Amino acid sequence: MKVSKVGVIGAGQMGNGIAHVMALAGYEVKLNDINPDTLEASQAVIQKNMFRQFKAGKISEENQLAALKRIQRTIDIGDLGDSDLVIEAATEDERIKQKIFDSLLPHIKVDTILTSNTSSISITRLASRTDRPEKFLGFHFMNPVPMMQLVELIRGIATDQETYDTCLEVVGNLGKTAARAEDFPAFIVNRILMPMINEAVYTLYEGVGSVRSIDQSMRLGANHPMGPLELADFIGLDTCLSIMNVLHDGLADTKYRPCPLLTKYVEAGWLGRKTERGFYDYRCEVPQPTR
């Protein structure tokens, strides 16, 4: 199956990044969100990020302008009906994702491929709620999408080979690398990354180190480009907690128990960069540790 039209559901951080790379690769994109303000904001973000690529010499001005014209925005999910491929990139909440697919199904073609950008939720379970589990795949981009080279492709138990091969070709057209992952909680990247972040939070919780010393230790001692607490703020503490809960519930192993301090920050609404407070306070000119 050849893909030329791509629907993206969710115009937040991940969704606008996916629309960005799809349009640059030549696909016609329809970007959907129920919030008009989020849709409008996504346009400015995509323009800014493409302009940054142009200034860095990574894309031409012609490619930039052509890609921007390939992106249409809509609050009506029915407008995605002619898509060959749909990528759901909404909040990491299984109930929300199921409602999205339920509302989408009456509008799409019989051969449309459905995918989810979920970072942890069972692809098999999401697929089972649709009318096409064989044409359902996990399509997990890394953040920030325009910069990160990896895409995890996760087959559910019913996903057929044609669906996988079609999405593999799309990843190649984006100039990215695909990693095949099995459908187990959090797949590959987050199965490894999130317990490390959770352990960093435990290290803070138990008073072994401060926010600054923990991040400095991993940057300078392990040569990580970003400290784990700084990275957690970038990802979103609510997303980190959600993935840890999926790991803990799905694998029934106490080593995946979310740190109580992570839960407390989420309860406070301190979710990281997107709320301007997390393990750092971003309301200052230079971010300051909050603990």
Report the catalytic residues: 119, 140, 152, 190
Beta-ladder partners of 7: 30, 86
* Buried/exposed code over 196-218 (b: 16+ C-beta within 10 A; e: otherwise): ebbebbbbbeeeeeebbebbebb
Picking from 193, 209, 208, 152, the residue whose alpha carbon sits closest to that of residue 176 is 152
φ and ψ at 69, to 5 degrees?
Answer: -70, -20
Q: What is the largest CA-CA distance in the chain?
A: 56
Checking DSSP bridges between strand 280-281 and strand 288-289, what pairing results, if any?
A: antiparallel
| DSSP secondary structure letter of residue 182 | -
Q: Where are the beta strands (DSSP E) in 111-149?
A: 113-116, 136-141
